Amino acid sequence: MKITEQSVTIIDPIDKDYIYRKLELIGRVCYKSEDKITEGSAEQFLRRIIKSGHESVLEHQSISVKFIVSRSIANQIVRHRVASYSQESTRYCDYNSGRLGGEITVIRPIDIKPDALEFAIWEQAGMDAEKAYQNLRFIDVPPEDAREVLPHCLKTELVMTANIREWRHFFRMRCAPAAHKQTRQVAKELLKMFYEKIPVLFEDEWAEFVGWEAQNEKMIKSDPAGNWQLDGVSWKDLKVGAIINKEMFDKLYSALWKLKDYEASGLTPDEVIDSMWT
């Protein structure tokens, strides 16, 4: 059994300037303002389109992406129905064949660390599933039936093609704090890639889901004893019923996900903040 990490890559070559000019031309058809197209006008126009919510214009450009994730995470991704998918088939792929290495590949859950007891339990469960699969194939049970013993952490390769509007929706759902942690990890990695290649179309979501995190990394520190705290916030002043201003509220909400104290408590930021206002 091979253990690997999840990853994501953009398949299409992306010409930023071409995409900007194309979407501007299409969008200006709605207003018959093609005569206002100038050198550099596309970025400003697209920012206005996004700010006004006129995102149907963005549907005219699609991008294909390849995910390598576990089956459980792939099940979440394919719920975005305004997209096209091609996925590695456990029915037609025989993991007992030499072509595929004669073994299964699994994705390690990010919360299960290699040196922890739970890793040994998880790893053994995967090897037991692999052995059961191999035994079924040895007695000529076809892959489409033998696959029923394979684990949720089985590696799968999934290509998703979606238009820009749907990708923006994907990031709003899958980068949000309420999303599955492993899904958030791969979604935020992809959002960073999109922002680097076509920033105007994703700069607002990058700022919300990635930019804040980068800023919070600077705000969070630990003392010599290993206790985590937030720069600029006096924790002794925060208690049930305390009144906090919006700036502090925003800092707390965005940073609490990173603080070890609240990870250990099992509370979510929403639960912590709800307790502050009661």
Question: How many CA atoms are closer than 13 Å to the CA of 214, on its beta-carbon side?
Answer: 8
Alpha-carbon span 85 to 160, nearest angstrom: 5
Q: Hey, what are 199's tokens?
A: 């920033």
The residue from 71, 168, 174, 184 that is catalytic is 174
Alpha-carbon span 68 to 74, nearest angstrom: 9
Angle between helices 246-255 and 212-219 (to 10 degrees): 90
- Tell me how far CA of residue 162 lies from CA of 46, 62, 135, 202, 264, in angstroms: 19, 5, 40, 15, 38
The burial of 21, by beta-carbon neighbours within 10 Å (0-12 exposed, 13-18 middle, 19 or more buried), is given as middle
**CA-based radius of gyration for the chain:** 23
Alpha-carbon span 125 to 129, nearest angstrom: 6
Q: Give 129's strand partners.
A: none
| 174: annotated active-site residue | yes
Q: Give 70's strand partners.
A: 155
Q: Hey, what are 222's tokens?
A: 């630990």
- Sign of the four-CA dihedral 55, 60, 61, 66: positive
Q: Within the chain, how many helices (H) and strands (E) appear? A: 12, 8
Alpha-carbon span 262 to 270, nearest angstrom: 11
For residue 52, how many other CB atoms are within 10 A of its CB? 8
* Amino acid making up residue 188: K
**Would you please indicate which residues are annotated as catalytic (active-site) residues?**
174
